[in-house]
Structures are given as structure tokens and as C-alpha cells.
Chain A
Amino acid sequence: MACEQAIPVPHAPSPGPVARIIAWRRAWLGIDHNPATLRLAQTIRGNGLLHLAFFALLWGAGLGHILLALSIGTLILCAIFPSRRIQLIGATGMLSLVIQPYRFKEFPELSARLFAKAGFDAISPALLSSAVAALFLLLCWSMLKLQAESRGNIVGQRPFLAQVILLFGLLGAGASGLCSPVATAFLWAFIGVFATNFWTLGYAFANLRSKAPAPALTHVGFLRPVWNGNMVPVGKGIAFLRKFEAKDDEALAATRLKALKLIVWALILQRLDWHLGDLLESRWGIPDLRHALLAQGGAMKLGAGMSWLVLLSHYFLKVVEVAATGHVVVATVRMAGFAIPRNSVSPFASRTIAEFWNRYFYYFKELLVDFFFFPAFTRFFKKNTKIRIAFATFCAASIGNCIFHLMNEIVWIPEKGLRHVIQGFESYLLYSLILASGIIISQLRNHRPKPEDGFLRYQLLPRIGVTLFFCIAIVFDDTRPGIALSDRFSFILGLTGF
């Protein structure tokens, strides 16, 4: 019997480190579709681990202690009682609003100074601000109930207009200086709370018009869901959130795994932003844009090459910062069980200016579209399509954009005056006009890049065009006073070498 000689089987070559990293990345990005991880995330142990990992990453994202505690508490409650998540988020949202009435970081100090001036030395200004926030919640509940029950009044017919009139009326009263110190302190505390919740209140009114509106009290709870740290209402209102609510255990597990993926990406971007910003300034001597513009007004003018480096790095870091911040918020919303779209999706891939806004800051763009673009588009210039689109875009990108950013500046009115705020705003006003013009031209252009145009005309040139437009426009994207418009123009001229 012939002895069979064993034939050595060649081993498959072991993958190199790059191939391994690519395989890990692919596996990581696919965890929300992987049956094994989906099953694990539906068990008590897996769900617990998922939450612990998420909380650790949320802590790493650098949220304030109160916001972090409220977020973790809300997410734990949502994990234990998933079918009650709307009510629980609403309850912690109201608590969040009363504990932290203002979103502007300067408002608590301003409010404290105004209450001290009015003679409220014995009572904590934070307590007084919380009382004003509680009153605000009560008023919102009454107004929302009024809207739900009857539309025969101005609040019912034009709620957003009513909001704008009320806010600007209060601002006028506050800026007039005619009120007593006590009335001034309470008035500005109320304005601070109202302005910080202005857009979420707008969404609450709009949501009451949906086919199956939630009760007014639920809307009040969503004026300040715990994830909303700034004024842009990520997740819009309750009607939008409900469309993305996980319908079963598997969908919930997938949504939470998406949340985990997103917060990891957010932390990577956040660290990139911090370290690259530091590296550019301290190691390579590239100043930030504001310092470069301030230098433009003095004797230390930058050369064309350095000015371009300043602009490109500022643009890049700003986009990365917005993406990182938005991802943390969206990840928290997803962890609560709502698979809402991301705030930023590959903004550098945009081929048109209009597309960039959709990809760069989705929820801010949605706010401008919902409150300014569509109301104008459905009412004015219906006979002429181009003028109709241009006017609606102007209303959103310029008027709406300015109103939104002006609200961030109202904190300076009581002590520095309206004139100071308006003077600081001239640059932003110009920015909003440049932005609106760019978006209008981008929307009305008949030619859109197509894949058949080739690499240069489809992939490269449109993206360079978008980058150049925003790099130039960003020079004016500033609401702080202190830099003359002439210095900003001079900086732009300096980019050409003059």
C-alpha cells in the first residue's frame, strides 16, 4: 500500500496591519446591522454595557456637570421604561429648563447683576431666574392650549408672527430704560428664557397642526429636551422625533448602536479640532481668523500665503467643530430611541453652495427653511418661479439668519445698549447677504455637475468653488464688534497679494 505523502497546504497570507484596520473599521461601521451585536444589544447585559460605554463617551465630550447628569438620568429612565420615553424626556426637559433657564453663557451673570441692582440681595438670582422660567413654562402651556383649542386669535392664526412681535415688543420695553429696576430685572430674565426657547416654542406651535398632535403639556416638556445645549433645536419638535422613534426592540438596539458609533466619531472630531487648532497656532504660528483680522487694522499685516492658511484652517476647523458638537447631540437623541438624521454629513463633499448648507448644519438650515423659506415661498411671487425662489431664499438665509444670530446678542443690550449690538452686527449682516446671494445663484443655476462631466468638472472644481466661496464669506461671519468692515475687505484684498 502506497503511503500517501501529505501535501502541505499553503496557509492563506495573514492580512497586513492596514488590511486589518480596514476590516475592523468595516466591522465597526456595520455594528448596527450585525445580527450578533443587535441580539446582544437587546439583552439586559448588552444594553447595560452599551449605556455604560455611551455615558463614558458623553462624559469625555466635556458636557457641563448639570447637563451631563440630566442626560444620563434621562437616558437611564428611557432604557428602563422605553414605552414612556416621550413623557420622561418631557419631564426632565421641564426640569432642565427650570434648573438652567438660559442658554447664553453671559445671561446668568447679567441677570444676577440686574437682580442685585433691583435690591434682591437676600434671594439667590439663580432661584429668581428659575421662578421666571417656571412662569414661562406656565405661559407656554396656556398659549399652546389656546392654539390647540381655538384658532380665532392671532396666536392661533399666526403663532410664529405672534412670537416675533412679543419678543421684539419686550426687547423694546427692556431697551427703552423706562422700567423700574425691579421690572427691568424680571423683564430681562423673562426675555433671556423666552429667547433661548424661541425656536423650540415655534416648533411646538407648528407641531400642534400635525394630524395627531401631542397634548400641549407634552410640547412644553420638549421646549428644552436635555440634549439641546444651544439654540438650534436639533431633532426639531415632537412630531419630527416621533417619525424616527424606534418601533420595536431590534430597531431600538440598532438606533442605540448608531448612537454609539456617532459619539465615537464626534470625540475623534472634537480631539482633532482641539489638537489641530492648538498645533496651528502655537507650533506653526498660524493665528486664528479674528487675530489675523485685528492685525489687519494695525501694522502687522499678514502676507497672502499666511492669510490663505488662516482662512483655510479657520474654515476647516469651524466645519469640524460644528460636526463634532452636532454629533454629540444627535447621538444622545438616538440613544433615547429616535433615529434622527445627523446634523453634518460629509460637508466637504458638497458640490453646490446650497448643498453645503444641507450637509454642514442640517438643523439650522431646517429651522431657516421651516420658519422663513416655506412661509415666504408659499405666499409671495407665485407667478414668477425664479423670483419666488430667490425671495424665499433671501428671507431664510438673510432675514432669518440675522434674526437668529441677533438673538444671541441681546444679552449685551441692557448694559451696553442697542447701538453697541447693532454696530457689532454690520459684518454679520453683510455675511448674510453674501450667503443669500451665493445660495440663490446656486439654486437658480441650470447646470448642475454630473458624473459624466469627468473628474475635474464633477469631483474637483465644484468642491473648490464651494470652499472658496465659504472661505471668503467666513471673513464676515462675526457678530462681535471691534473689527472694521474696511479691515475685513483689506484682508480679502491681501489674499490676492495686494
Chain B
Amino acid sequence: MPASQIDRLRAIVSELLAARGDTAAFSETESLFLGGRLDSMAATHLIIALETEFNLEIGGPDFDVSALDSIAEMTDLLA
């Protein structure tokens, strides 16, 4: 996955965190949802962003929101 796309992913997550008053740094593998930094409402915004900006088709019984738990997992999903 190109570095520019990973940067964009990080920017989206940073915006979601900032909207919740969280401006602390996060690593590639940090658990964002299970770790409690983002909630299910943030997940919906993240899914919409991935669909519109990365043309990701999310749906079907196999989708599991834990696939979006960290930048590394999102990168895997988009690869």
C-alpha cells in the first residue's frame, strides 16, 4: 500500500481521535477500538471514510469490525 494512503489513513484516525478530545500519538499496531480510544460511532465514520476514499466495499457476513482495530489491520484490509 503506498505511503501516501497510509498517511491518509492516519489522518482520518487522528481526526476521529481529536473529535473525542484525544490528541495523543498512536502506533501502527495500537488497538484503537478494543483499547477504548475509539467507539462504535467512530467505527461508522471510519467505514464511511474507507468506502468513499479507498473504494472499499464493506459488507457481507464475513465483515468483522475488529478488522479495523489498528492502522496495520486497516492496511491489511485495504491491500
Contact = CB atoms under 8 A, between A and B. Distances in A.
A374 interface: yes
B48 interface: yes
B36 interface: yes
Q: How large is the interface on A (under 10, 10 to 19, 20 to 34, 35 or more residues)?
A: 20 to 34
Contacts of B60: 378
A378 B59 contact: yes
B61 A157 contact: yes
Interface string B37-65: 00111011001100100000011111111
Main secondary structure of the interface of B (DSSP, over half): loop
Interface string A205-236: 01001100000000000000000000000000
Given A243-B31, A374-B65, A378-B58, A451 B21 contact: yes
A78 interface: no
A458 B47 CA distance: 28
B66 interface: yes
A485 B48 CA distance: 40
Interface string A436-453: 000000010000101100
Interface in B21-43: 21, 31, 34, 36, 39-41, 43
B3 interface: no
Interface residues of B, number: 22
B79 interface: no
Interface in B58-79: 58-66
Contacts of A408: none
A318 interface: no
A358 B58 contact: no
Interface of B: 19, 21, 31, 34, 36, 39-41, 43-44, 47-48, 51, 58-66
Interface of A: 157-159, 206, 209-210, 239-240, 243-244, 341, 354-355, 358, 365-366, 369-370, 373-375, 377-379, 382, 385, 389, 392, 443, 448, 450-451
9 contacts: A157-B61, A159-B61, A239-B66, A244-B34, A341-B36, A373-B40, A374-B40, A378-B63, A443-B41
